[in-house]
A and B are shown apart, each in its own frame.
Chain A
């Protein structure tokens, strides 16, 4: 089931009359059967978008389509969605089995069939042996699986997850990440999830959408977005350690940084630009430019080199073997790994 958002907008007015555009003319299409992540910093409108898709918030403008159906005015229970809340929202006074069965009570199916569905779903998420416990007796990860089972049991067209991993500890996060991906693969259901953790989004999404202040920044396959960020915001948001941002200019086809350092080429006309270089895109090059490192850290396989370039501090990660024992540090930027941006708009310059 494909989800299409057309010019979706949400404006919040506080009691003083001030307006905040939480979501601003968002137009994206989420392809059917894919796992898509809505990514962005806090307050960028991703949860708002999710709740509008769910139908719990009414949009101020724009339309939402599930396939060919316009569901913009439809109540949540009629849209055929499953929603997993950030704090799971399980009914505390019901057992796991009753929790999962609750959505089925409103469908016209027999009880035996409902019970079978419940067990099928419990097996899918892996809590078949916890069915008669109450939520308070389960761990966080188990509770989340119950929430997922409850969302999926009515075979919805769309599965929505609100920050599914933020309540879990680090180890559980990795495990659950894989679980979500596996479940989505097995059911083939169109899934949208919201997160502020870029590593998480990059690891499991089929596609990612980055939002900032309600505006879409880029939508692409994760690795594509990482390698070719459409603007400065996306470039800065992805990547750990973060990308190095330096001032520079394009002069006669060369990308020049301060101190007249040439780091690469560009086909664009002369202009003042902002240059982004990821730490791992530096490499040791005897023909490169020499740097005086402020600090060098050897961490096993990688070596971190901190140096200053025209008043900006730069972080570089190079292969340890290549720098080991070398007295002079000479670096260059890997080919095609230069990101050049327009200083006013932030968009990428080719």
Chain B
């Protein structure tokens, strides 16, 4: 048994490795195609040229289709490969039930037909069969025979006969039993109705929420002519019509690299500063005992009510006086300390029982050591949430950066988005929406990726922040 498990793991590992190679190759391919795209002369122009790739001539439409397919491939396969890697690397006992081998079969088919990866397909198929043998106690052949038997039963009406016999048997039961069954059926229908209503409601809201995102990507992929001339906008466009070149135009005009590095720098710096000050302050307010602790904390809480604009005015003057105007210092320092985070972390620290502190004292542990060795590891989820949220904050910041660091070299990503003009050369300088939304998508998508990978922590942390009010 153990030998087979080891074999399965090894095969899983190899298959995932091959998947990764394919993905890397696809990344290279898409990069090449993207760089080959020709920029239009005028921002509103549509591009329709031919490209020479690998000796053959491709039209714009074909290149678009290729890129679209590759993007679709990424969306499906990168997350699955990640989860595959996690499964391969985990030291836990692997679960083996029907879902395991069914999903392996699924992956094998997907590998073969969707990503043209016959190697992984074959390996996963073998793996799936092995797991099937272990779980069901019989091999693939027997499973197929079972399926065939079930189908035969179904088509020859034997299944129906069985169901009918069961129903007749039920009718023989007593009156009260039938009543009960009727009531339970009513209950059941009610439950089903409620469930349907629930899902409909949720789906509507989900559509409402998701619509802007979809619209953003959709518009970013349309041509400008379509946007300005079409009478009613289309809801879906074909793979070959996806104008990936818009992204390239956006990148051309929008110094993404600079703004991204600015935002990353400010984000990381303020995150480090925030986390450090918050941990120390929350420790002081929760674990240490000193006179006036609660009093000062209540005052801090009250300041949360004051609109940020009140601070802005004076902080603007202070920043100018300190000579920090138009520099990174102005972006990082003023809002480094957030009372909200201190409050949040203090709540978490307070939940660590006192006896633990006393036990640590008896063990010879000082205050600082207790903070670093015991409190921080226990409060890790909260600290993670604070880290993530404070880093994301830099992404969203607009008002303050625009006020105190107006020169372009300090622009953060939101500031740049709002300020860069994606306009046509015309006299009334109307914004060119497809390119502008392409830039917006470029700004939004990285954050979405971060969110999807960390969503477990973010959702848990935000939820907890509300429990103590």
Contacts and interface: CB of A to CB of B under 8 A. Distances in A.
Q: Do A's and B's CB atoms come within 8 Å in the complex?
A: yes
Residue with the highest number of chain B CB atoms closer than 10 Å, among A75, A85, A107: A85
Interface stretch (B185-193, B327-335, B360-368, B450-458): B360-368
A316 to B, nearest CB: 45
A56 B20 CA distance: 58
B377 interface: yes
A102 B378 contact: no
B374 interface: yes
Residue with the highest number of chain A CB atoms closer than 10 Å, among B359, B361, B362: B362
Given A91-B374, A92-B378, A93-B377, A77 B358 contact: no
B364 A106 contact: yes
A338 interface: no
Interface string A70-100: 0000011100011101110111111000000
Interface residues of A, number: 24
Contacts of A339: none
A150 interface: yes
A87 B380 CA distance: 23
B399 interface: no
Interface in B172-211: none
Given A56-B358, A85-B355, A85-B358, A103 B363 contact: yes
Given A92-B378, A93-B377, A76 B356 contact: no
Nearest to B361: A76
B55 interface: no
Interface in B335-360: 353, 355-356, 358-360
A273 interface: no
A150 B364 CA distance: 12
Contact of B362 (A82, A91, A92, A93): A82
Nearest to A83: B362
Contacts of A83: 358-359, 362
A54 interface: yes
A226 to B, nearest CB: 33
Contacts, number: 53
B368 to A, nearest CB: 13
B355 A87 contact: yes
Contacts of A81: 362
Interface in A99-129: 102-103, 106-107
A47 to B, nearest CB: 12
B354 to A, nearest CB: 9
Contacts of A76: 361-362
A94 B359 CA distance: 14
Contact of B359 (A85, A93, A106, A154): A85
A91 B356 contact: yes
Given A87-B355, A89-B355, A56 B363 contact: no
A154 B374 CA distance: 19
Contacts of A87: 353, 355
A102 B364 CA distance: 9
A76 B361 CA distance: 7
B136 to A, nearest CB: 32
A90 B355 CA distance: 9
A77 B374 contact: no
A82 B361 CA distance: 11
A92 B377 CA distance: 9
- The 3 closest A-B CB pairs, nearest first, are A77-B364, A89-B359, A106-B364
Interface of A: 54, 56, 75-77, 81-83, 85-87, 89-94, 102-103, 106-107, 150-151, 154
Interface of B: 353, 355-356, 358-365, 373-374, 377-378, 380
22 contacts: A54-B362, A56-B358, A56-B361, A75-B361, A76-B361, A76-B362, A77-B361, A83-B362, A86-B355, A87-B353, A89-B355, A89-B359, A93-B374, A94-B377, A102-B360, A102-B373, A103-B362, A103-B364, A106-B363, A107-B364, A150-B363, A151-B362
Given A56-B361, A85-B355, 20 more contacts: A56-B358, A77-B362, A77-B365, A83-B358, A83-B359, A86-B355, A89-B353, A89-B358, A91-B374, A92-B378, A93-B377, A93-B378, A94-B377, A102-B363, A103-B362, A103-B364, A106-B363, A106-B365, A107-B364, A150-B363
